[in-house]
Amino acid sequence: MTMTAKEFILTLEDVDKTFDGFKAISGLTFYMDVGELRTIIGPNGAGKSTMLDLITGRTRPDRGKIEFGRDTDLTGLNEYQINRLGIGRKFQTPSVYTDHTVFENLLLSLPGTRSVWEALFSRVTRAQRDRIDELLQITRLAGQVGTKAGALAHGQKQRLEIGMLLAQDAKLLLVDEPTAGMTDEETARTGELLLSLAGTHSLIVIEHDMAFVRQIARKVTVLHQGSVLCEGTVDEVQNNEQVVEVYLGRKHDPKRHL
Ligand code: ADP
Ligand code: MG
């Protein structure tokens, strides 16, 4: 009989990263299952964005293991190579082609498209069109297919960018503070979109809006001073004494704003 061990999409073990003598990441160990939607919270400066920089090859660790899937070592690869493996990152500010339509933005993100020129002036294949239709449904942007990305509402832009990561066939999506600057309705829609992707994709979502965390969270990791302070459900981490202490010191109400 063959036993299938639970597979990790991501493994970080004992990772350190120092900037000018300051340990931004310190002995960070983190495991995530395939198909998980993991929310990461933590005070400003906890190292959340740096953790994503280390995973995506934007920053190199001083030491430690960073592996994608069963055994792909990411520490020796550059950003481009890591992206090609299927790790897509969404930054806080949307990076869409503002002068191009939603359709064109998705088309430009499909694998194998080499240039804007090629994408826009060669014939769109049936397969490409079908995939774009699917992405428009997923991101709920079908009504904006011909709209220039620059004219979209903030929340729509953010959803388009997630659609572009999906177009690139990202298996692991890293999303840093997706709801910053969004209305409540846009926030709820973004939450629905991320939830709908869990299972077929693995997602790390960094967020500090606790209402949003509550909407999407299954397992929450609290980062503090560059390592994991605790992990658990939203209730577990909000009631964790150490977590409360960390936030009390900052005059934050941990029930609302971590
Ligand atoms: P978070 O996203 O949790 O708010 P960051 O990962 O952005 O925290 O930052 C963690 C710490 O590392 C901060 O003190 C920040 O100033 C520092 N830091 C992050 N990136 C760099 C960098 N490229 N150069 C120098 N210091 C950095
Ligand atoms: Mg950050």
Residues with CB under 5 A from ligand 2 (ion): 48-49
What is the rounded CA–CA span in Å between residue 96 and residue 253?
A: 35
Q: What confidence score (pLDDT) does residue 250 get?
A: 57
Say which ligand is closest to the CA of 42.
1
Residue 229 lies in a domain: yes
pLDDT tens string, the chain, 258 residues long: the values are 555 667 899 999 999 999 999 999 999 999 999 999 999 999 999 999 999 999 999 999 999 999 999 989 999 999 999 999 999 999 877 789 999 999 999 999 998 766 777 767 778 889 999 999 999 999 999 999 999 999 999 999 999 999 999 999 999 999 998 888 889 999 999 999 999 999 999 999 999 888 899 999 889 999 999 999 999 999 999 999 999 888 766 555 555 555
**Residue located nearest, by CA, to atom 14 of ligand 1:** 45
pLDDT computed for residue 6 by the predictor: 74
Check residue 121 and give its pLDDT.
72
Position 185 in a domain: yes
Give the Cα separation of 194 and 196 in Å (integer): 5
Domain that holds residue 174: 8-97+169-248
Choose which residue among 16, 19, 92, 223 to substitute to test ligand 1 binding: the one with the highest number of ligand atoms within 8 A of its C-beta.
19
| 49 CB within 6 A, ligand 1 | yes
Does any ligand 1 atom lie closer than 6 A to the CB of residue 42?
yes
Q: Give the ligand whose atoms come closest to the C-alpha of residue 19.
A: 1
Residue 77 lies in a domain: yes
Query: What are the DSSP calls for 110-132, one per residue?
Result: STT---HHHHHHSPPPHHHHHHH
Is there a domain that residue 258 lies in? no
Nearest-CA residue for ligand 1 atom 25 is 19
Q: What is the CATH number of the domain that holds 177?
A: 3.40.50.300
